[in-house]
A and B are shown apart, each in its own frame.
Chain A
Amino acid sequence: AQSVTQLGSHVSVSEGALVLLRCNYSSSVPPYLFWYVQYPNQGLQLLLKYTSAATLVKGINGFEAEFKKSETSFHLTKPSAHMSDAAEYFCAVRKAAGNKLTFGGGTRVLVKP
């Protein structure tokens, strides 16, 4: 069974600092990978998705993620944090032959002024 691990349930960064959120997956087949963001009292919004076209994927709001097959990782980064980035972030994987997503436990980001 596939699984997704997000390292760190809470991350605190200073405004202007690098944001790095870690995601590792286990899958026996090439996966489709997604990052979602959830702002308070809202549903999940797609940040970006990996679909094998390129290993570095750019998303909305200045975020990007790099797929590393050898490390089975899909870490999310943003060079400079903004106060509006305070939210919870979820990594998800879809097995190539299925429609279901498996989500990581989420990482809550706090941005300090």
Chain B
Amino acid sequence: DVKVTQSSRYLVKRTGEKVFLECVQDMDHENMFWYRQDPGLGLRLIYFSYDVKMKEKGDIPEGYSVSREKKERFSLILESASTNQTSMYLCASSLWGDNQPQHFGDGTRLSIL
């Protein structure tokens, strides 16, 4: 079974802090993704990566950056956290290929105070 592990289930940070969300997958998947989930908006793609050190912006990259130094690990960084970044963050991974499904972690619920 594919395992996608997000480092924290719940996280509380303060406005202006630099926040790191970590994601690790154990199935040697090429692709990794970061989404945020908000009620009524579904999932929106922040960034994705198709290889080590490679990244592409998703639909809502503003205020975020990512790092992929190793194939199994994909980090999401909030450079200076703001209250409008309070959300559920989901990490996913997949094999390369159009019909390959994405496998999701359990999510990190982030609150910015």
Residues of A within 8 A of B (CB): 4, 6, 9, 32, 34, 36, 41-46, 49, 51, 90, 92, 94, 96-101, 103-106
* B85 CB → nearest A CB, Å: 19
Q: Known contacts A42-B107, A43-B104; decide if A90 and B98 are in contact (CB<8 Å).
A: no
> Which B residues are CB-close (under 8 A) to A94?
98
> Which B residues are CB-close (under 8 A) to A32?
98-99
**Chain B contact residue count (CB 8 A cutoff):** 27
Q: Are B99 and A105 neighbours in the complex by a CB distance under 8 Å?
A: no
Q: Known contacts A97-B98, A99-B98, A105-B41; decide if A44 and B31 are in contact (CB<8 Å).
A: no
Nearest neighbor of A36 in chain B, beta-carbon distance = B104
A104–B44 alpha-carbon span in the complex (Å) = 9
Q: Are A34 and B101 neighbours in the complex by a CB distance under 8 Å?
A: yes
Secondary structure dominating the interface of B = strand
Q: Are B98 and A41 neighbours in the complex by a CB distance under 8 Å?
A: no
Q: Are A42 and B106 neighbours in the complex by a CB distance under 8 Å?
A: yes
* A29 CB → nearest B CB, Å: 11
A6–B45 alpha-carbon span in the complex (Å) = 18
Q: Are A96 and B90 neighbours in the complex by a CB distance under 8 Å?
A: no
B58 close to chain A: CB less than 8 A:
yes
Q: Are B104 and A45 neighbours in the complex by a CB distance under 8 Å?
A: yes
A45–B106 alpha-carbon span in the complex (Å) = 10
Q: List 19 A-B contacts (CB under 8 A).
A: A4-B42, A6-B42, A41-B107, A43-B4, A43-B107, A44-B43, A44-B92, A46-B102, A46-B103, A98-B98, A99-B50, A99-B96, A99-B98, A100-B33, A100-B45, A101-B102, A103-B42, A103-B44, A104-B42
